[in-house]
């Protein structure tokens, strides 16, 4: 498969690129800054420099031509304010979905966030609340698209602990933590399982091997 990843320099994206390259997929990662290209090359991915906050749908669609799947793993990142949560976590996600449809790429996987479907509780940090609202709006936009075979993955609290290869993956899991390693492994498995299309799934650490967890949700 050829897979294009938006936010290709992110921590989960770099892990995913290494996994996909190792199993023989062709991978491209969209990055905003040219100096990030070396890290993608080291991960086995083709770097594509394109700023999703300023690019047109046509610009991005050209980078998606010939792809079998697209993954939105971009985010404004730590230290960014509420405005960029909207322009990246919502706006860039919508643009990337538009571009996938324009390029005829049906398989579309989104890395979202747990809690994105609910109004943030009173007292939530305003920037984090803006992030959750942006993710929720982006997810709603993707779910409304008949032109995409979408899967939305909502991990719990992310850690840098080594992956265990065992998770809990379901429509609702409850709160919990999950390693970025395991998120990447689940994303790689979801890309190979078309029967997870049309699902919004939560992910935390657990005791089910990833392959079995993905197979289980695909069969229900």
CB 6 within 8 A of CB 53: no
CB 89 within 8 A of CB 76: yes
**Which residue in this structure is represented by tokens 């939530």?**
124
Q: In whole angstroms, give the CA distance from residue 149 to residue 23.
A: 22
Model pLDDT, residue 79 = 76
Q: Is the pLDDT of residue 135 over 80?
A: yes
Q: How many CB atoms lie within 10 A of CB 133?
A: 19
Pairing state between β 199-205 and 166-170 = antiparallel
Q: In whole angstroms, give the CA distance from residue 169 to residue 178.
A: 11
DSSP string, 170-188: ES---S-EEEHHHHHHHHH
Average of per-residue pLDDT values in the chain: 96
The residues annotated as belonging to the active site are 131
Q: Using pLDDT thresholds of 50, 70 and 90, give the confidence band for residue 118.
A: confident
Q: Using pLDDT thresholds of 50, 70 and 90, give the confidence band for residue 187.
A: very high
Q: What are the pLDDT digits (tens) for 54-83?
A: 999 999 999 999 999 999 999 877 778 888
What's the mean pLDDT in 182-199?
97
Domains of the chain, CATH where assigned: 2-218 (3.40.50.720)
Q: In whole angstroms, give the CA distance from residue 63 to residue 65.
A: 6
Q: Is the pLDDT of residue 216 over 90?
A: yes
pTM over 0.85: yes
What's the mean pLDDT in 179-184?
98
Choose the weakest-confidence range: 18-22, 122-126, 160-164, 188-192: 122-126
């Amino acid at each position: 498969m050829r897979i294009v990843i938006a936010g290709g320099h992110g921590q989960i994206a770099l892990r995913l690129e290494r996994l996909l390259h190792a199993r023989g997929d062709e991978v491209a990662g969209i990055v905003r800054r040219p100096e990030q290209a070396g890290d993608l090359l080291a991960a086995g991915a083709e770097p594509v420099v394109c700023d999703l906050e300023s690019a047109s749908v046509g610009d991005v669609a050209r980078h998606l031509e010939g792809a079998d799947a697209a993954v939105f793993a971009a985010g404004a990142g730590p230290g960014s304010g509420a405005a960029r949560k909207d322009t990246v976590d919502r706006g860039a996600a919508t643009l990337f979905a538009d571009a996938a449809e324009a390029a005829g790429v049906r398989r579309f996987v989104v890395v979202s966030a747990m809690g994105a479907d609910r109004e943030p509780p009173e007292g939530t940090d305003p920037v984090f609340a803006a992030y959750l609202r942006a993710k929720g709006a982006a997810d709603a936009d993707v779910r409304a698209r008949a032109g995409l075979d979408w899967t939305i993955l909502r991990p719990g609290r992310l850690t840098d602990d080594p992956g265990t290869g065992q998770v809990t993956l379901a429509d609702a899991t409850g709160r919990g933590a999950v390693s970025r390693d395991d998120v990447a492994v689940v994303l790689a498995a979801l890309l190979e399982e078309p029967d997870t299309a049309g699902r919004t799934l939560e992910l935390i650490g657990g005791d089910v091997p990833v392959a079995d967890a993905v197979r289980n949700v695909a069969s229900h």
